[in-house]
Amino acid sequence: MFCPKCGNKLPDNAKFCDKCGDPVGSVPNDQSVNNQTPAQTPVSEQSIQTAAKQAASAAASQVRSAAAGAIQAPLSNLTEQIASSEPGEAVLGTFGGVSGAVTNITGILNPFTTIISGIKSFGQSFVGLFKNKQWIKLIIAGVIAVVWIVLMILSYNGINIGILNFLTFAQGGVGRTVPGWLGGLLGKTTVVTMLFSLFTGGFKSLGGGFKSMFSGANFKTSNLGWLLLGAGGALIVYQFFAGSASLTDTMPAISGALIGVMALGRGNGFLYRFAQSLTASKVGASRIANNGKAAGLLSGVTYGFALGALLSAIPFGWLPVILGGVCVIAGIVLTIVFGNKKEVSAV
C-alpha cells in the first residue's frame, strides 16, 4: 500500500506514514464522519394527536373571527342607516321586495332593540335639524305647532275652523283623560310624520307601496295571519289616537295608511325594520327575515288604518277597537296553525 498524501510505500498493516506522518489504513477521515446519516428520533402517536388538536383549534378560531366580522359589518351598516335617516324616515319604514322567499339578514334586531334604536335615531335626527341648520323643516314644524295651539284656543272660545281642525287633528286629546291626551298627542305626531315623510321623497314611493300592498303574496296562507295582525293592531291604535271614532277625527287613520304605503314602497326606516324584527325567526345566532311575512304585516297595517277611517262613518264609536280585537285573535290563530304546519312539513 502507499501513503495517499506523499505516495510513500508502506507495509499493509501500517497505520501512519513513516515519511509524512499522515494517518492511513482504516482510520475514518472527517469527511466520512460528517457524511453519516443522523439517527432518526421516533415520533409518538400522542405527539401526532396533540399537533392535530392544536391545528384544529387554530382553524376554528379563524372561522369564529371571520363569522364575527361578517355579522358585525351588517349591524354597523344598519346603525349608520338608521342614524342617517331623515326625520320622517326615522319613524317610518320602507319596504323593498315582497317575495315570499326567506332571506338571511344578520342585521335583523329583536323588536325591543329595534324600538330603542328607533327612539334614539329620532332624537338624533331632531337634534340634527339644528346642527345641520335645516331651517325650512324647523319652520314647518313650528308653524304646525302654532296652528295647533291657535286652533285649540279658538275652540275653547267657541270658534271652530272645521277644515283646519280636520287636517291637523288639532282637537286630538282635548278634553280627554290622561291616556286620551297621550293618544291624541301620538295621533298628532302621526299626522306630522306623514307630512314630513310625504315631502321628503314619500311621493315617489307611493306607487311602489300600492303595488306591494295589493300583491297576491300578502294573501297566501303563510302570510295571512300577519296581514290580520297588522290590520287589527292598526284599528286598535287608531281608536287609541281618536278616542271615540268619528269622521272629524279620521286624519290619524289617513296618515297611518299613507305611512304604511310609504313603508312598503321605500327602502329603509323604522317601520320596515320593526316589521322585519316581528316576523323574523331566530336560527342559531342569526335572525332570519321573511320578506313575505313582513310585507303582509305592513299591508295589514295599511288596510287597518284605511278601514278605521271608513268605520268612523258608522255611528258607533268603539267599532274599530272591537273589529281590531277580532282581527288580532284570528291573526294569532292563523299564525300558530300555519306555523305549526310548516314545522311539521319541515320535519
321 lies in some domain: yes
pTM to 2 decimals? 0.65
16 lies in some domain: no
Domain assignment of residue 290, given as a range: 99-346
Q: Say how far apart CA 282 and CA 197 lie, in whole Å.
A: 32
- Determine which of 104-108, 235-239, 303-307, 336-340 has the lowest per-residue pLDDT on average: 104-108
CA count, 13 A, side-chain hemisphere, 160: 6
244 lies in some domain: yes
DSSP track, 242-257 = HSS--GGG-HHHHHHH
219 lies in some domain: yes
3-class SS at 286? Answer: strand
- Give the tens place of pLDDT for each residue, 140-157: 778 888 888 888 888 777
84 lies in some domain: no
Report the candidate in 306, 297, 193 with the shortest Cα–Cα distance to residue 253.
306
192 lies in some domain: yes
- Give the tens place of pLDDT for each residue, 220-277: 888 899 999 999 999 999 999 988 878 888 999 999 999 999 999 886 678 888 998 8
Q: Say how far apart CA 266 and CA 273 lie, in whole Å.
A: 12
3-class SS at 287? Answer: strand
Q: Can you give the pLDDT at residue 311?
A: 92
CA count, 13 A, side-chain hemisphere, 70: 11
30 lies in some domain: no
DSSP track, 211-243 = HHHT-GGGGSHHHHHHHHHHHHHHHHHHHHHHS
Do 213 and 302 touch, CB atoms closer than 8 A?
A: yes
- Give the tens place of pLDDT for each residue, 61-116: 554 555 444 444 444 444 444 433 433 343 333 333 333 334 444 456 688 888 88
* Number of domains, the chain: 1
231 lies in some domain: yes
CA–CA–CA angle 227, 232, 238 (5° rounding): 125
